Amino acid sequence: MSVGGAASPMNDEVVSSQGATSRLVLGIETSCDETAAAVVEAGRIVHSNVIASQATLHAPYGGVFPEVASRQHVRDIVPVIQEALRDAGADWPDLAGIAVTSGPGLAGALLVGANAAKGLAMATGLPLVAVNHLEGHLASNALHSGGAIITPETAGEGLPVLPYPHLALIVSGGHTDLVWVDAADRHQRLGGTRDDAAGEAFDKAARMLGLGYPGGPLVERAATGGRSDAFAFTVPRGLGLDFSFSGLKTALLRHVEAHGEGELPVADLAASFQAAVVRALVERCAAALEGRDARAIAVAGGVAANGTLRTALAARFPELPLWVPPAVLCTDNAAMIAAAGWHRLARGEDDGLAFDVGSSMGL
């Protein structure tokens, strides 16, 4: 859902390696278990967005197996990039530059994307920028309007644009962060998780309840037939704008163990657990908004696809536009990396070939 001000023109261009002006950026993302590439224009218009998911590959492990992920990235990276260029109808001389995720994420997985991007930059002469994965999530809300991805066909229709400043909630399998965003390339981290991320907590809850992987959608589905007040899960207070989900995860484990060999009330446990996670997220958003003049709330990351969370945020803050990307832009994707990289390329920045990846990089 989204509402906002009128669309603004994007006239910035970057001189390509062939001397032509361009607003097209190739984004590459391999931070975890999706191999992704995309071509995005001026940080807003999606020409292509290709994602090779490894979810079924890691399902038997109940989570991402790092070595398996890295090997699959090696297999997928070249065809995925080729498909992204083909879908966009673009070739190397058409690009303004390349943007690639440098962290945070799995080190081995990040290296596959970073090395591919470096090789392409060296071969084509295109500038290359290393993008923080979390900044990519922040940029994902600029790629849609009214819940629909902005494409070359719809870009000229005067669509509303994401207003600034706004409060952003990044909530995914590896991250839970509150960020105050003043502009597309200016932000301040207000708080984050001290232990498990919300998405990780959902994954572990799904494993305890025997639901499978990835956990977030499965817990939400199981919760549909359950009572959210069936079990009294609490979330810690006194953390300021930080989060903690490890205690909640332990509480679920104790309830599961207490049932022993008896039939497990999966629906009620899933609904109650989900309600506690959502309550923690909404409460921290409310605290972060105190004394701040936000023009919107933007949610990003895989857990942003959770319908209970979206409904709760809209109900708690009816006066603020709620921006949530389409599902394909909530999970890891390369369009958001290209969008975040565009602003740096437009300023003439180039990280060259010397940058390294960082598995625990923060905002």
- Is residue 309 assigned to a domain? yes
Domain that holds residue 50: 14-161+329-346
**Pair 201, 310 in one domain:** yes
The secondary structure of the chain, three-state, reads CCCCECCCCCCCCEECCCCCEECEEEEEECCCCEEEEEEEECCCEEEEEEEEECHHHHHHHCCCCHHHHHHHHHHHHHHHHHHHHHHHCCCHHHEEEEEEEEECCCHHHHHHHHHHHHHHHHHHCCCEEEEEHHHHHHHHHHHEECCEECCCCCCCCCCCECCCCEEEEEECCCCEEEEEEEECCEEEEEEEECCCCHHHHHHHHHHHCCCCCCHHHHHHHHHCCCCCCCCCCCCCCCCCCCECCHHHHHHHHHHHHHCCCCCCCHHHHHHHHHHHHHHHHHHHHHHHHCCCCCCCEEEECHHHHCHHHHHHHHHHCCCCCEECCCHHHHCCCCHHHHHHHHHHHHCCCCCCCCCCCCCCCCC
Mean predicted confidence (pLDDT) in 197-222:
93
CB 279 within 8 A of CB 233: no
Same domain, 313 and 172: yes
Residue 3 is assigned to a structural domain of this protein = no
Residues 140 and 175 in one domain: no
Amino acid at 323: W
What is the Cα–Cα distance from 11 to 41, expressed in whole angstroms? 11
| 84 and 117 co-located in one domain | yes
Tens digit of each residue's pLDDT (9 = 90 or more) over 7-16: 333 445 555 4
- The CATH code of the domain that includes 294 is 3.30.420.40
Report the share of the chain in percent with pLDDT over 90: 79
In a domain, residue 195? The reply is: yes
How many domains does one find in the chain? Answer: 2
Which range among 49-58, 88-97, 246-255 shows the weakest confidence by mean pLDDT? Answer: 49-58
| Residue of 337, 302, 301 whose CA lies nearest to 40 | 337
| The predicted structure's pLDDT at residue 223 | 96
Could you tell me if 239 and 300 lie in one domain?
Answer: yes
| 261 and 341 co-located in one domain | no
Are both 157 and 178 inside the same structural domain? no
Provide φ and ψ at 181, rounded to 5°.
-110, 110
Per-residue pLDDT tens over the stretch 151-194:
999 998 889 999 999 999 999 988 999 999 999 989 999 999 99
According to DSSP, the β-strands at 322-323 and 297-300 are parallel
Rg (CA), the chain: 20
User: What confidence tens digit (pLDDT) does each residue in 308-331 have?
Assistant: 999 999 999 999 999 999 999 999
Indicate if 31 and 148 belong to the same structural domain: yes
pLDDT band at 260 (very low <50, low <70, confident <90, very high): confident
- Which one is predicted more confidently, 69 or 52? 52
- 275 and 241 housed in the same domain: yes
Does 4 fall in a domain? no
The identity of residue 48, as a single letter, is S
Q: Do 106 and 197 share a domain, yes or no?
A: no
pLDDT at residue number 14:
58
- pLDDT tens digits, 74-117: 999 999 999 999 999 999 999 999 999 999 999 999 999 999 99
